[in-house]
Amino acid sequence: MIRVLITDDSRLVRGVLREIVESDPEIHVIAEASNGAEAVEICLKERPDIVLMDVQMPVMDGIESVKRIMQTAPTPVIVLSASVKSSETRSAFSALSAGAIDAIAKPHGIVSSETYGAIAEDIIGRIKLYYRVAKSGAAEGEEPLRDLEQITSPPVSSSVIAIGASTGGPRTLSALLSAIKPDFPCPILLVQHISDGFMRGFADWLGREISLDVVIVDHAMRLEPGRVYLPPDGYHLEVSRGAAVLSEAPPLHGCRPAVDVLFKSLAQEYGERAIGIVLTGIGVDGSEGALAIKALGGKVIAQDEASSVIFGMPKSVIERDAATHIASLENMPKLLSELASAHSEEGGGLFGSVQRVQDILVVDDSPTMRAVLYDILTAQGHNVRQAENGRLALQEVAREEPDLIVLDVMMPELDGYSVCRRVREDYGYIPVLMVTAKGSSEDMVRALEAGADDCIAKPFEPMELSARVQSLLRIRSLHQRLFTQNNELEAKNRELERLARALNRANKELTLLSVTDGLTKAYNHRHFQERFKAEFARSERYGTLLSVILIDIDHFKKVNDNFGHPVGDQVLVHLVEVLEDSVRKEDLVARYGGEEFILMLPETSGPRALLLAKRIRERIEQSAVEIDSSLSVRYTVSLGVASFEPGGKVQTAEALIAKADSALYSAKANGRNRAEMA
């Protein structure tokens, strides 16, 4: 039997959690605590197997409680957060730094049975998981992970690093990334499986824990060294053309974001420069992507079993022979630095101060011409790949997009014109330098029409070829920069649009708050007066009818005295609900003051207004305010009706209100629970 302590300052939440936990016959709640101090005391006396801990509590909050528990009675603590507000989720993750083993969402508010079931399954599953982990000795909740020694950053590197983690990931990531200095020359992309709504709080917390810059990607962001990129809730994270981008592709392994999606895009984009790291977590996410990275010459580090909280994801990678390295958390920062350093020599400095080596694909059916081009281009410091015909050239482009294609026109199987057109149709912008044998104007025109960026005729001068190549590579670099900047600009525009919409909503809410009563949501006295005076003036001008009804709750003080002010508040809310349900759209319901309310009825005669008042009185008398299963409150109202008619005795708006007030007084004097007309 798994013995659980529930800690939450809300009796209702504790009850819901007890119901969830004890729905499983293998789990028993041994005690409940209403604050962190009580939890520490119970842990010392009862020694529970698992603690469920709220964050925001009186007396002692969850963070301090976790610290005390780890010091006095080490126990696995699962932190529960009811809010997705960044302030509360940051607190939840701060509890991880204090020694908690996990942070998850708890049930709150009104949720569907499906959502409730998913939350219950998650809580029960994690209790059982961490119980097994604690019993196996892999994680006993003894104390926070100790800080790792900071590594010396490579001076420059062309590597791009992607990290995937799940259960137990936040603390592990904090320890790993804390060992990396801000001058680290590689960007880091991160997928952490986490409850919906928690990603922003996780990013804020991680940003405070480590010295690297942590950002949430918005559509597309250019990759920069020393920066950690996270996706927002509900999006996959990928890389494309030197940028971190988002995808709404279907979930993979039930996850979005998924590690496999990130790893596969990293393998396609960076090949041997890709470094994937698979950390602690349940499941197999990351193993397929790790295979893709390894297949294209990249490196994959899997966390070893001894240092993993849950040896699921790393185990899957190792069993599929997708890991090139297996490392403990303690040794991982040094290994990561060594792997990144390997590409400071091979790949230049894509994200550092040294210009990276450009990748050029030479396509020509003549071995002699390929050799000539190879010598010229490698002498300029470029990496050169070769293809002897158009079909093989397209396969090379599909494997990894080059920075430039030097393409012969006349080739067997597929000529240069056809290859160029296919590249333009199927890929982003890749500069093409077409090499023609004759150099005639007709050949030049055909090449440009096929999509070539430039042409050069055989025989050519090496100096001219090098100059044309450098020119096209500069265009390629500018194009990539403009593409990324355009994506960033679009993302900023969307953010500005989002902020504008949020500001508009906030302004509308502020406007609504300024004209409504906070409790009942009926219009307030000031707004009524403004609308009433305008409507009275309109009735005078056009000779239309206008009626008002003043409503007062009978013996309302007794309701407050007998049942308390919270019950009285519910009575007021109930009255407004009845009033709003009884009137037309063009009518107005307002709280006139205290327990008095008023209705403004444009183009309504006195008799019709009196009939409405009587119907409202009857509905109130026949209804009851259900407080809870053991208490319902009945009440009555008195109503005073007055009407403005063209040519009548009422000459001012104030006089009309005074007549309604006089009628209300008569209704009360005549026994209450009645409607009178002036």
Give the residue numbers marked as catalytic. 166, 193, 285
Give the span between the Cα atoms of 76 and 133, in whole angstroms.
9
- From residue 410, how far is each of 155, 417, 521 by CA, in Å? 45, 9, 79
Cα–Cα distance for residue pair 227/183, rounded to 1 Å: 10
What the block records as the tokens of 603 is: 């183009």
DSSP string covering 451-474: T-SEEEESS--HHHHHHHHHHHHH
Distance CA 401, CA 268 (A): 9
d(CA 446, CA 546): 82
Q: Please, what is the end-to-end C-alpha distance for the chain in angstroms?
A: 74
Cβ-proximal residues to 12 (8 Å cutoff; 6+ apart), any chain = none
Tokens standing for residue 126: 């994690």
C-alpha 70/C-alpha 72 separation (Å) is 6
What is the tally of helices (H) and strands (E) in the chain?
A: 21, 27
Which candidate, 457, 366, 462, places its Cα nearest to that of 411?
Answer: 366
CA distance 464 to 162: 41
Phi-psi region of 543 (alpha: psi -120 to 50; beta: other; left: phi over 0): left
Please work out, in degrees rounded to the nearest 5, the angle formed at the alpha carbon of residue 517 by the alpha carbons of 514 and 522.
110
384 phi, psi to nearest 5 deg: -115, 125
